Structure 1
Amino acid sequence: MITHETIVRQIEKLTVEANHATTEQQVREKLTAIRALCDVVLDEKANLPKLPPQNFGSASISAPVYAQPVAIPAQKLDEEDANGDSIFDF
């Protein structure tokens, strides 16, 4: 396993190289490498504990889970020509 200290030392080395680079392309390459090293350390997946493998031997299929619709309180229109609560009432 690569330690954080090893990655930080590599980032420091790349920073020095970026400071001594002679072209913008070289600076961009060093900064891209630094970004990649930071992403490795900060990657959430790398820091998550490993889960035990799932047992897929049984062929159980679970029913899909659907969210319950949210009731939105509606203001009832009071029109003198309306004859009901439907939106199709004219």
Structure 2
Amino acid sequence: MAISDQTVLTKMMNELQEALNKSGQTNVVREHVRAVRLLCDLILDSEPESTGTTEPKPSIDQLELKKMMGNLGQSQPNTTPPTRKIDDEEANGDSIFDF
């Protein structure tokens, strides 16, 4: 069961009023201030209520998507030139660490 912000704010005002009424008693005032801080944290930590006025997400039209992504639908042939293998009698493979 969710507690409305208005209810929490009313409780905060009651705690502040009690703290003002007991202004001569430091420990009692501190307890009321702790209660106010707890109620503040309750409001700040809770999820905001959705009122149905959320902003619509902008949609990306197809032309803009094509400009950003390029022609992904067309397959481009692999044009890497074939590498020639170095034949050295002391080398033992294709590693760059073969000396």
TM-score computed with the length of structure 1 as normaliser: 0.49
- Which structure has the greater CA radius of gyration? 2
